Amino acid sequence: MKELKNLNLNLLVHLDALLAQRSVSGAAQQLGLSQPTVSSALARLRRHFGDELLARQGSRYVLTPLAAALQPLVTDAVTSSERVFLGRAGFDPVRTRRQFVVLTSDFWLEAVGPSISRLLSEAAPASSVRFDLLRIADLDDALETLRTLDGILLPHGALPEAPHVDLLTTEWRALVDARNDRVGTVLDRDTLAALPWVLYADRSTATAALVSSTIMRQLVLAGLDPRVEVTVGTFSGVPSFVRGTDRVAVVHKSLALRAELTLGLRSLPLPMAFDALTLAFWWHPRHTNDHAHRWFRSLTRSAAGLVAADTSGFELAPATEESLGDGG
């Protein structure tokens, strides 16, 4: 107890960020502090534990064996501390200066991000939000990635082990050029199989891998073997590669309807059943009872409601109290 009495418990928060980010710069960004401040905290922690905690390996830092053993204990300690202090003080969105960090794809960033940021600026004017693009490496250990941020906006199918709240649902539509005379008023299976394809597929992004595998899996189950002529690294860019060609693409209904208006394309129902897509906000279990995080989840759900009301092709997904985090 005497040793604890002489410790600044803010070091626990620094340690949690350093172990999660595995770098001084990343921890400083997460905490909203300067790098010298976090570097000084790391030096004090190294002296306290008699261990480097972060060891250089090539161009990056890795956790030492002691740091790896400490990480789950530190996470539990921070979570417990949050429950103690936030349970008394609650959460005041008007006064918070917290930065919320969300990973997502280019399409969902454009579709949902502006509504989240607008509601956040209205309800918590001193806070901020940072949207980063999701990469395949982020899902190598999805729970570990989620530990270091507030959440991931991603359709169902990639993060089955994490708590989530469903936000939006949308259908899939086929997209062709309005002057493509190979396609009649109805798109049949034979025509769909014969047309060259544009596919969203970028090996560096997790969402591209998920979407392309989802589309290809359902086409294969329908007995089709599409000939992919063009692959595109951004989902929002797919319609431009259909324009003026005889190609076809499968995109979300909302993007298809927008492409009809802006690019002179035509969207058509698919000739086979495609499972509807459901976008969800996923988070680490450690955040479930965090007052600020529960508030942010609720705000994200409200933002989804705005998107569903303002954007053709989207519907608000059903949600339960359990998926919201017990009243978030």
Distance CA 251, CA 240 (A): 12
Tell whether 158 and 296 lie within a shared domain: yes
Model confidence band, residue 144 (pLDDT cutoffs 50, 70, 90): confident
Is the domain of 219 the same as that of 299?
no
Q: Are residues 180 and 145 in the same domain?
A: no
Contacts of 83-91 spanning 24+ positions with Cβ under 8 A? 83/289, 86/290, 86/291, 86/292, 90/291, 91/291, 91/292, 91/295
Kindly list the strands in the beta sheet with 265-268, ordered across the sheet, starting from the edge strand earlier in the chain. 249-252, 172-177, 265-268
Looking up residue 138, the CATH number of its domain turns out to be 3.40.190.10
Indicate if 248 and 218 belong to the same structural domain: yes
Last residue of a domain, one of 67, 89, 111: 89
Asked whether residue 176 falls in the same domain as residue 256, the answer is yes
| Of 61, 89, 117, the domain-final residue | 89
**How much is the mean pLDDT over the chain?**
85
Is residue 234 classed exposed, middle or buried when 0-12, 13-18 and 19+ CB atoms within 10 A define those classes? Answer: middle
Q: Which domain holds residue 156?
A: 99-169+277-316
Q: Which amino acid is at 18?
A: L
Residue at 23 is within a domain: yes
User: Is pTM beyond 0.75 here?
Assistant: no
In a domain? residue 255: yes
Q: What is the CATH number of the domain that holds 42?
A: 1.10.10.10
Check pLDDT > 90 for residue 305: yes
Report the distance separating Cα 119 and Cα 108, nearest Å.
16
71 in a structural domain: yes
| Shared-domain flag, residues 289 and 230 | no
User: Tell me: the pLDDT tens digits for 87-130?
Assistant: 545 678 988 888 899 999 888 999 999 999 999 999 999 999 99
Share of the chain above pLDDT 70, in %: 87
- Residue 229 host element (H or E): strand 227-232
Residue 35 lies in a domain: yes
Same domain, 55 and 186: no
Number of domains in the chain: 3
Flag whether 120 is in a domain.
Answer: yes
Does any domain span residue 326? no
Among 231, 249, 268, which residue terminates a domain? 268
Which residues, including other chains, have CB under 8 Å from residue 99's CB and lie 6 or more apart?
32, 127, 128, 129, 130
Which amino acid belongs to residue 175?
Answer: L
Residue 7: pLDDT band with limits 50, 70, 90: low
Same domain as 153, residue 123:
yes
Report yes or no: 206 and 157 within 8 Å, Cβ to Cβ.
no
Q: How many CA atoms lie within 13 A of 209 on its CB side?
A: 13
In a domain, 80, yes or no: yes
194 plus 262 within the same structural domain = yes
Per-residue pLDDT band for 203 (boundaries 50, 70, 90) equals low
pLDDT digits (tens, 9 = 90+) for 259-297: 999 999 999 999 988 888 899 999 998 888 888 899 999
Q: How many CB atoms lie within 10 A of CB 247?
A: 21
Contacts of 270 (CB under 8 A, 6+ apart): 172, 173, 174, 187, 192, 250
Both 177 and 263 in a single domain? yes
Q: Can you give the pLDDT at residue 198?
A: 92
| 161 & 183 share domain | no
324 in a structural domain: no
Same domain? 246 vs 218: yes
